[in-house]
């Protein structure tokens, strides 16, 4: 397997295809959220959580996947269990939502599709959220759940950490914290559109501002403020994974949409990981919005991405 493949480089050699009508479902959902936030600037965090729980709508139910509520390491969670899955392998999935919104329930279908594609199980964590629980509560919960999986008998090499957006940050920062603690690291990491740079230095925050239907600098500033509180530096190494040396990091798969403002975070992560000798692959899919695998089972672009991830995982 060749690391650091960037799929958009291959795609751009052909004509960049228009997005499918199925993929536009996600753009339309994001635009509706943006419109609501503009029209109602005083929405409470409870209002926002209710709205963002609609994130589960674009993905179709993955066939042959059952779910079970559980508590793992003191953290509420939902297991996704595909028929015929290798029960000795598990994805620890952390949902997106700026560390403040989103839930295990809003992301269970997306995680279920990923687990089914890889032929493993998944456990979706409903970690503590900001602003009630600022950094580092989210990482503490993810580490606690990981330790519990080890205690349940999962071999570290058979655990993957995965997540989207802020959850993609957690999938990476959890591994960095495990490294700091001297604990065995998972076998691989998957990050969908990770939001990594709390200092908001990525150039695509500006260059893709007109094409991203949801994620703006203003939204990120608000979410970062809730996550970091008034005590944490935006360049803190666990809050901001881009501030780390990735030497010894597990194999890493990153994807993002070509239209999204956080594309720079994915590209910067790929560059840092590659420079540290990590087996890393970056997939940038033209025209796609933030966390486009939310369209799993519905849009051909998301299903093709799942097939690429599965091929990558099986080649490890």
CB of 148 within 8 A of CB of 105? no
What is the per-residue pLDDT for 302? 98
At 114 the three-state DSSP class reads: helix
What is the per-residue pLDDT for 90? 98
CB of 249 within 8 A of CB of 277? no
- What domain range includes position 133? 7-314
Is the residue at 153 inside a domain? yes
Tokens read off for 295:
């369209």
What distance lies between CA 117 and its chain's CA centroid? 16
Number of domains in the chain: 1
State the alpha helices, DSSP H only, in 183-314. Answer: 204-207, 217-228, 263-275, 300-314
Q: Which residues are CB-contacts of 223 (< 8 A; sequence separation ≥ 6)?
A: 98, 99, 100, 130, 166
State the alpha helices, DSSP H only, in the chain. Answer: 7-11, 24-39, 45-52, 104-118, 137-151, 166-181, 204-207, 217-228, 263-275, 300-314
Q: How many residues are present in the chain? A: 316
CB of 100 within 8 A of CB of 44? no
* Separation of alpha carbons 280 and 122, rounded Å: 22
DSSP lists the bridge partners of residue 263 as none
DSSP lists the bridge partners of residue 80 as 67, 122
What is the per-residue pLDDT for 211? 97
Is the residue at 76 inside a domain? yes
Q: Which residues are CB-contacts of 61 (< 8 A; sequence separation ≥ 6)?
A: 109, 112, 297
* Separation of alpha carbons 69 and 123, rounded Å: 9
Is the residue at 43 inside a domain? yes
* Separation of alpha carbons 255 and 194, rounded Å: 8
What is the reported pTM? 0.95
Q: Per residue of the chain (316 residues), give pLDDT as tens.
A: 333 344 443 333 333 458 999 999 999 999 999 999 999 999 999 999 999 999 999 999 999 999 999 999 999 999 999 999 999 999 999 999 999 999 999 999 999 999 999 999 999 999 999 999 999 999 999 999 999 999 999 999 999 999 999 999 999 999 999 999 999 999 999 999 999 999 999 999 999 999 999 999 999 999 999 999 999 999 999 999 999 999 999 999 999 999 999 999 999 999 999 999 999 999 999 999 999 999 999 999 999 999 999 999 999 9
Q: What one-character DSSP code corresponds to residue 129?
A: -
Is the residue at 1 inside a domain? no
Sheet of 120-125: strand order equals 65-72, 75-82, 120-125, 86-94, 159-164, 188-192, 252-257, 280-285
Q: What one-character DSSP code corresponds to residue 191?
A: E
What is the per-residue pLDDT for 222? 96
What is the per-residue pLDDT for 17? 54
Is the residue at 202 inside a domain? yes
CATH of the domain at 198: 3.40.50.1820
Active site (catalytic) residues: 165, 260, 290
**How many CA atoms does the CB half-sphere of 287 hold within 13 Å?**
16
């Amino acid at each position: 397997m060749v690391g650091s493949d960037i799929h958009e480089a291959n795609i751009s050699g052909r004509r960049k295809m228009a997005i499918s009508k199925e993929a536009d479902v996600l753009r339309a959902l994001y635009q509706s959220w943006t419109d609501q936030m503009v029209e109602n600037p005083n929405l409470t965090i409870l209002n926002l959580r209710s709205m963002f729980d609609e994130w589960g709508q674009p993905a179709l139910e993955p066939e042959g996947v059952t779910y079970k509520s559980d508590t793992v390491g003191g953290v509420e969670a939902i297991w996704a269990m595909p028929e015929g899955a290798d029960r000795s392998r598990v994805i620890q999935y952390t949902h997106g939502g700026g560390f403040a919104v989103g839930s295990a329930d809003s992301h269970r279908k997306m995680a279920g599709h990923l687990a089914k594609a890889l032929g493993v199980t998944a456990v979706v964590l409903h970690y503590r959220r900001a602003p009630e629980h600022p950094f580092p509560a989210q990482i503490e919960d993810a580490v606690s759940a990981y330790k519990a999986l080890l205690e349940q008998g999962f071999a570290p090499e058979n655990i993957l950490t995965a997540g989207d957006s802020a959850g993609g940050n957690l999938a990476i920062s959890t591994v960095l914290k495990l490294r700091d603690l001297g604990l065995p690291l998972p076998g691989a990491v998957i990050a969908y559109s990770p939001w990594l740079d709390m200092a908001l230095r990525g150039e695509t925050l500006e260059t893709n501002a007109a094409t991203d239907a949801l994620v703006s600098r203003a939204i990120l500033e608000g979410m970062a403020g809730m996550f970091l509180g008034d005590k944490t530096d935006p360049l803190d190494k666990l809050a901001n994974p881009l501030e780390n040396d990735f030497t010894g990091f597990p194999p890493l798969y990153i994807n993002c949409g070509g239209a999204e403002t956080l594309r720079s975070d994915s590209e910067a992560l790929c560059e840092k990981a590659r420079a540290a000798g990590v087996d890393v692959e970056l997939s940038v899919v033209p025209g796609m919005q933030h966390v486009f695998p939310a369209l799993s089972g519905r849009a051909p672009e998301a299903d093709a991405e799942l097939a690429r991830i599965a091929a990558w995982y099986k080649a490890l």
